[in-house]
Structure 1
């Protein structure tokens, strides 16, 4: 399956209030491996960036003044995403911003060209009651996030890819290994237990067992459920 890990950085928190995307990063996967293809772009938001947002990602409006507008790259983005499953942490946030940008340039929402998997929802299902931020998941799954002093879309997609591997670890083991024989001598040999120790009861143990059966049958009114018929009780 073709998947794309995606992240954005923005001027603020609410696209409904006119906030814009200033960075987007996409890493393409085939199965569980990066293909080497990626899309990473910065945009001129044509507006100020909230101070709180700058504290998160470190970018100012002046840093982005010479960057292209989203409208110039909208079709490139849709082409890259087409037919893929997107892996996004807290997907509703990023999807809302992307769709707001697409609507400004009369383009369809991204759900019309791809599907979306929210890795935050996945993490909450697997780790109920725990912190499931990207940093918390990096710590939980042993992903080195020491470079993440500020948020950045490209770095965050790289970290999210490694976290997603941890979240989905073990799923591959559910697949059938077609290289292993399931019929014939090979399958019989692989399924046959080796060096089993067989313990056989001796005469004394058999006698004690028979006496116990008689005692149980006597207490049960002359019948044991594990026998074919009544047990003679003296």
Structure 2
């Protein structure tokens, strides 16, 4: 089994180098690229103000975070949850930079960039020249966005988990449910990573006759060359 962690953060701004801080961390465990019910989610006191422009994005004010733990108080739990597994995020360098700044500040080991899997880069390769925000990808893959009125790290993780399945090859026939080590029911499906055509049932005698008649009606059909 392959374990990976899909995660997202919300922050007070765009740059940890100028003093912006993490206010929310959410992560979902994936087994063989599918989400389990094992999650990590925490709201964090950033120990600074939250600019109005950031609040307009994620909806949180400093009053919402008063009494929440500081990052240093949740760092060990976060590191235990993620283990040594690869880390998946949309525009992953942004989230890695913020988490690593917080880890440095409290004397914890940083996340190695070699663990990073960026779904934004994956999407750009799949859909060059097209919008590849999380919203755009959800619309492209017909994923329900109705609950996403503001940016929310845990909701964004759940949406990104669906997008990630599609970017890795998409849903296949054979969808079912199985237990994952007592952690609840988890969807599983047959994967077709090399996208080879599935074996189809042979045509009936009537279908063969209809095709033969159609080919004979054509002028110099390539099927007979």
Q: CA-atom RMSD, angstroms? A: 2.6
What secondary structure is seen at the aligned counterpart in 2 of 1:174? coil
Report deviation, 1:35: 2.1
Partner of 2:103: 102
Alpha-carbon distance between aligned partners in 2 of 1:194 and 1:29, rounded to the nearest angstrom: 43
CA contact (8 A) 1:15 1:100 kept: yes
Q: TM-score, normalised by structure 1?
A: 0.73
What secondary structure is seen at the aligned counterpart in 2 of 1:27? strand
Q: Note if 1:11 corresponds to 2:12.
A: yes
- Report which of the two structures shows the higher radius of gyration computed on alpha carbons: 1
Structure with greater proportional helix content: 1
Partner of 1:20: 21
Of 183, 193, 200 in structure 2, the residue corresponding to residue 174 of structure 1 is 193
Number of matched pairs: 187
Alpha-carbon distance between aligned partners in 1 of 2:55 and 2:151, rounded to the nearest angstrom: 10
Alpha-carbon distance between aligned partners in 2 of 1:194 and 1:151, rounded to the nearest angstrom: 53
Partner of 1:41: 42
CA contact (8 A) 2:9 2:22 kept: yes
Q: Structure 2 matches for 1:105-120, cutoff 5 A? A: 105-111=106-112, 115-120=115-120
Runs ≥4 residues deviating over 3 A: 192-197
What secondary structure is seen at the aligned counterpart in 1 of 2:112? helix
Alpha-carbon distance between aligned partners in 1 of 2:164 and 2:12, rounded to the nearest angstrom: 26
Structure number with greater CO (CA < 8 Å, separation at least 6) is 2
Where does structure 1 lack aligned partners over 5 or more consecutive residues?
176-189, 200-234
Q: TM-score, normalised by structure 2?
A: 0.76
Alpha-carbon distance between aligned partners in 2 of 1:130 and 1:11, rounded to the nearest angstrom: 28
Where does structure 2 lack aligned partners over 5 or more consecutive residues?
172-190, 195-199, 213-225
